[in-house]
Structure 1
């Protein structure tokens, strides 16, 4: 297939529409991502006159019907169902209050970070974590000498920790399914990369607050039984149980807990499940539309063009890993949505990983980490905009306290630089040939 730069036009159209409207209006969510993607798809359908419209429909149908795309969408929906019903059952409130109730006042900022880490891993959403913890961060700041920007910074850092680790996070699901690897394998790969960043972040928050006055009189009520569904899902996924069975078990358990504690009736639990599913409908449709666009671009030679461009500028696995990291980071900066960035960059990263023999779990980890790095730092991202709005600050007030995304990037870069690299089969063959000569 002849490689043509114009094959990438649909991606360019999306970025121009989405980022352009954001820059002009000052609102990066003024142009819905779905609208921009549909426009990009139509542009792609108008390209390549060598194919009929029906042939193009066949191409995009194969892309949308890929087993990884369908599996990803189904997991999105089931994960949304679990998130909806466990929240309605009181799981979020009890988990937050349990953590706060066992923390000494002097460790409140450190605690906000740690609780944010656990909540985001459990809920699978940085946005949900920020929404749950931001009002508490405001209260902690009002009762102590801890600056509000520091308290909310700890919350955002914790939210971004679990965003790329949680078994039910849309970013994790997208990263794993686009690379065709196991969830538990990606988690282990990811965890040991970001753990040093989390530990250093915790130390920084402790050092910054150790001399500050901290007295709080709040009493936090919780019921540990309401936390159990989160623990079941987290432990089950780590053990390696089928993700669908784990999530369905969590849904059933949450329904039982919610009914038992009077949070909702059995009939109302189905409404909570439906509301949770609805929250992930948009990203599910976007995933399908992006798969259609990628199929057209690939058929027109655009994916080969990107891969060959990266190949010319990289050598071996390490170069490929940096290429993937830069690719997804740039896409996230343009889209202001880390899940969309992974869905867009994932198929390209998959081919780069295959070409340079980078393990799928490693590619998935790099995708998820660097998409989160970008999302955790851009002032126009939903996470910072939401956090700032909830506590009456601006994103620029919070950014100086966002140690974790920066340290996560540094940790991942060091991991890629210094982890021993095995030769690709091509490099090994060349080395064997030189020895023979």
Structure 2
């Protein structure tokens, strides 16, 4: 499907393997949820669900078993898929080593020490945002900040649902922007653009909603009992690896070099302060690798399945249907946003939603000349928006877990001001391109496939 002459004939039946994956993943979640299983939508392993789709593809599609296997392997070994998977491993190792040497605890405590007590709700948004940007995971930020937030809310007389909404909003803000987030990695690799460019474009769209949300939290999140300021135990040196990775990534240094450097900076700090030994440094690095096994396998297997489905005309079928509704560049952007949001609503996994829709978004971008940096930003934004507001998503389920059932997702969702404002900002940016300064300065060269 590289050009019009090689266009594959549309075939809706070729989508059945993908639908099998979604039905198994979604269906198992619904069934387990009805039985009261905790984190129901995350119990059936996503890689196994994808592999079920691969089996269906092998049964359905034409050709010998060897031909189908080679098509599958070709998709798994796609350059962008392999790069994506390697970055996942390095991002996991950096997060694991940095946490082991005390970086997360120091960052949280640093924020709690210097944020005035009367601004606790807004401060929790900022802290969880930074943790999420630094570690590349909203769930990790929630795990670090939410238990502290529950205690502070109780002590200060804060509205607990509003407090948890602040933590979730900050975590999703950081996850959306982080240069080492699996969503950013997936979005930029599938669209063929640089992480720093997507970060800059995203920042224009996400920062205004974040600022407004912080102001609203200051106004409506004022505590009834202002707790006495405390000095928490922190070490500014242990925050430096996060700043190192963030700064060099935005500066445009190769992401492999940045993350590898970040791993060693965190490791050296851990060795100097006694939190790590050479052996535990190696062990935490490996644990970081293995923590990304699920998304590594999902990406690789989905890459193989996507290639098989594309060769059979499944992708072309979707594109033909979408193109009947798309009238131009703006509606093309709206189509990309809608597709990834609906997929995330179905499977409750923003990274997998981006991986599934990445090839479709790429084809739409090429057809309607949507800048790849723009399509990558839209994929990440709308996947994160949906992931952060669905009641059966990991983020909302963690809220119930940390509050021991005292707060339900239904109480928190109306107070997710950041996500609500981000929807408005992202839609407005499609029709009033206030966020496209980076695109205007460095327009996309469609012949060479990169920014000028």
Partner of 1:283: 295
Shift of 1:267: 1.1
**Is 1:260 matched up with 2:267?**
no
SS in 2 for 1:264: coil
SS in 2 for 1:241: coil
Pick from 17, 20, 32 the counterpart of residue 13 of structure 1. 20
SS in 1 for 2:42: coil
Structure 2 residues without counterparts, runs of 5 or longer: 1-7, 34-39, 445-452
Partner of 1:39: 52
Partner of 2:169: 157
**CA distance, structure 1, for counterparts of residue 226 and residue 322 of structure 2:** 52
Partner of 2:195: 183
Shift of 1:371: 0.3
**Is 1:64 matched up with 2:76?**
yes
**Is 1:311 matched up with 2:311?**
no
**CA distance, structure 1, for counterparts of residue 223 and residue 56 of structure 2:** 59
Q: Is the 8 A contact 1:143 1:216 kept in 2?
A: no
Shift of 1:117: 1.1
> Deviations for 1:122-170, whole angstroms, at most 9, x for unmatched residues?
1110010000001110111121111221111111100000111111101
Partner of 1:124: 136
Alignment of 1:340-359 (within 5 A): 340-359=352-371
Partner of 1:108: 120
> Please, what TM-score do these two structures have when normalized by structure 1?
0.94
Q: Is the 8 A contact 1:140 1:216 kept in 2?
A: no
Partner of 2:412: 398
**Is 1:412 matched up with 2:412?**
no
Q: Is the 8 A contact 1:131 1:387 kept in 2?
A: no
Pick from 241, 256, 264 the counterpart of residue 244 of structure 1. 256
**CA distance, structure 1, for counterparts of residue 130 and residue 182 of structure 2:** 16
Shift of 1:209: 2.3
Partner of 2:447: none
Pick from 48, 53, 58 the counterpart of residue 61 of structure 2. 48
Shift of 1:395: 2.0
Evaluate the alpha carbon distance shift between residue 36 and residue 417 of structure 1 in structure 2; reply closer, same or farther with a 3 A threshold.
same
Shift of 1:218: 3.9
SS in 2 for 1:177: helix
Shift of 1:215: 1.6
**Is 1:194 matched up with 2:194?**
no
Evaluate the alpha carbon distance shift between residue 139 and residue 357 of structure 1 in structure 2; reply closer, same or farther with a 3 A threshold.
same
Shift of 1:55: 1.0
SS in 2 for 1:215: coil
> Deviations for 1:333-357, whole angstroms, at most 9, x for unmatched residues?
1110100101111111111111111
**CA distance, structure 1, for counterparts of residue 376 and residue 221 of structure 2:** 35
SS in 2 for 1:28: helix
SS in 2 for 1:220: coil
**CA distance, structure 2, for counterparts of residue 137 and residue 178 of structure 1:** 36
**CA distance, structure 1, for counterparts of residue 147 and residue 189 of structure 2:** 35
Pick from 17, 27, 30 the counterpart of residue 23 of structure 1. 30
**Is 1:92 matched up with 2:104?**
yes
SS in 2 for 1:406: helix
Shift of 1:115: 0.9
**CA distance, structure 2, for counterparts of residue 16 and residue 75 of structure 1:** 29
SS in 2 for 1:307: helix
Partner of 2:246: 234
Structure 1 vs Structure 2 CA RMSD? 1.6
**CA distance, structure 2, for counterparts of residue 283 and residue 237 of structure 1:** 22
Shift of 1:294: 0.7
Evaluate the alpha carbon distance shift between residue 370 and residue 333 of structure 1 in structure 2; reply closer, same or farther with a 3 A threshold.
same
Q: Is the 8 A contact 1:185 1:361 kept in 2?
A: yes
Report how many residues are paired.
423
**Is 1:2 matched up with 2:15?**
no
SS in 1 for 2:275: coil
Shift of 1:217: 5.2
Q: Is the 8 A contact 2:120 2:222 kept in 1?
A: no
Partner of 2:344: 332
Structure 1 residues without counterparts, runs of 5 or longer: 426-437
Shift of 1:23: 1.6
